[in-house]
C-alpha cells in the first residue's frame, strides 16, 4: 500500500510545476510529522498563486511550529489580507489570533 507522501512525491516528480500536487504533498508531510520537509512545497504554492490563502496559512503555522516566528509573520499577514478581501470570516479570526500570539 502506497502512503499519501509516496503518492504525492511521485506526482510531484512527474509534474514538479503542479502547485496542487505540491500542496497535497505538503499536507501529507505535515500529517506525517515531517514538518520541515513541507516548507519548500508550501513556499512553492505561495509563490505560484497570489490569491491562494491556504498555503500561506499552513506556511505561517509551519514556520511558527519550527520556531521561525519572524519568518512566519509575513505569510500569516498575507493570508489575513486575503481572508479579508475574500470575505473568509473564520480564517480571518484565526489569523488575527495567530498573529497576536506571535507578538
Residues 6+ apart with CB under 8 A from 95: 57, 76, 79, 80, 83
pLDDT at 2: 72
Give the mean model confidence (pLDDT) for residues 32-59.
97
Within 10 angstroms of residue 4's Cβ, the number of other Cβ atoms is 14
Q: Is the pLDDT of residue 96 over 70?
A: yes
pLDDT at 1: 64
What is the percent of the chain where pLDDT is above 70?
99
Q: Look-up: residue for cell 505538503? A: 26
Give the mean model confidence (pLDDT) for residues 60-83.
97
Question: What domains can you pick out in the chain, each with its CATH number?
Answer: 4-102 (1.25.40.10)
Amino acid at each position: 500500500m502506497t502512503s499519501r507522501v509516496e503518492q504525492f512525491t511521485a506526482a510531484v516528480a512527474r509534474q514538479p510545476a503542479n502547485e496542487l500536487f505540491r500542496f497535497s504533498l505538503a499536507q501529507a508531510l505535515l500529517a506525517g510529522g515531517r514538518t520541515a520537509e513541507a516548507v519548500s512545497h508550501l513556499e512553492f504554492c505561495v509563490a505560484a498563486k497570489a490569491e491562494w490563502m491556504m498555503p500561506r496559512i499552513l506556511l505561517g503555522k509551519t514556520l511558527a511550529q519550527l520556531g521561525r516566528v519572524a519568518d512566519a509573520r509575513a505569510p500569516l499577514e498575507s493570508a489575513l489580507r486575503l481572508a479579508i478581501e475574500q470575505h473568509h470570516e473564520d480564517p480571518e479570526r484565526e489569523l488575527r489570533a495567530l498573529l497576536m500570539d506571535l507578538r
